Amino acid sequence: MNKETRDRIDRTLSFIQPWLLLGFIIIFVPGVVFFTFYYSDKFLPYPVSEHGREIVPLFNTTTILTGLAFFLTQILLFFFAFRYRKKVGRQARYLKNFLKLELFWTVIPALAFIFLFVWGQILWAKIQAEPEGDVVEIDVMGEQFNWWVRYPGQDGELGRSGFEYIDQVNHMGIDFTDPGSLDDFIPMQIHIPKGRPVKLHIRTRDVIHSFFLPHFRVKMDAVPGMITKVNFTATTTTAEMREKLNDPTFNYEVACAELCGRMHFAMKMILVVDTPEEYGEWLKEQKSWLSQHPEYRINYTSQ
The least CB distance from residue 264 to Cu ion, in Å, is 5
Contacts of 14 (CB under 8 A, 6+ apart): 85, 86
Size, binding site for Cu ion by CB under 5 A: 4
Q: Which is nearer to Cu ion, 205 or 209 (CB)?
A: 209
Q: What is d(CA 291, CA 281) in angstroms, rounded to the nearest whole number?
A: 19
- Considering only residues 51, 150, 191, 209, which one is a binding residue for Cu ion as defined by CB under 5 A? 209
CB of 254 to Cu ion, least distance (A): 10
Strands in the chain per DSSP E: 136-143, 146-150, 190-193, 197-204, 209-213, 218-222, 228-233, 252-256, 268-274
Stretch that binds Cu ion, among 13-21, 62-70, 203-211, 293-301 (CB under 5 A): 203-211
**Across the strands, what pairs with 139?**
150, 201
Q: Which of 141, 259, 159, 255 is nearest to 203 (CA)?
A: 141
Smallest gap from Cβ 219 to Cu ion, in A, equals 12
Near Cu ion by CB under 5 A, which window of 113-121, 160-168, 201-209, 227-235?
201-209
Give min distance, CB of 212 to Cu ion, in A: 10
Would you say 221 and 212 are in contact if contact means Cβ atoms under 8 Å apart? no
**205 sits near Cu ion (criterion: CB under 5 A):** no
Task: Specify which residues 210 forms β-bridges with.
Answer: 221
> CA-to-CA distance for 209 and 101, rounded, in angstroms?
45
Q: Which is nearer to Cu ion, 220 or 260 (CB)?
A: 260
State the nearest-atom distance from the C-beta of 202 to Cu ion, in Å.
Answer: 12
Give whichever of 143 and 184 is closer to Cu ion, judged by the CB atom.
143
Binding map of Cu ion across residues 140-179, x = CB under 5 A, - = no contact: ----------------------------------------
Q: Which residue lies nearer to Cu ion by CB, 212 or 216?
A: 212
What's the order of all strands across the beta sheet hosting 146-150?
A: 146-150, 136-143, 197-204, 228-233
Task: Tell me the window of 86-94, 241-249, 265-273, 277-285 that interacts with Cu ion (CB under 5 A).
Answer: 265-273
Binding mask 17-56 for Cu ion (x = CB under 5 A): ----------------------------------------
**Residue with Cβ nearer Cu ion (141 or 234):** 141
Lay out the sheet containing 209-213: strands in order across: 190-193, 268-274, 252-256, 209-213, 218-222
Alpha helices by DSSP H, listed for 129-193, are none
260 binds Cu ion (CB under 5 A): yes
Burial string for 179-206 (b: 16+ CB within 10 Å, else e) reads ebbbbbbbbeebbbbbeebbebbbbbbe
Smallest separation, CB 263 to Cu ion (Å): 9
- CA dist 186 and 152 (Å) reads 9
Residue list 267-286, contact with Cu ion (CB under 5 A):
267
Contact footprint for Cu ion (CB under 5 A)? 209, 256, 260, 267
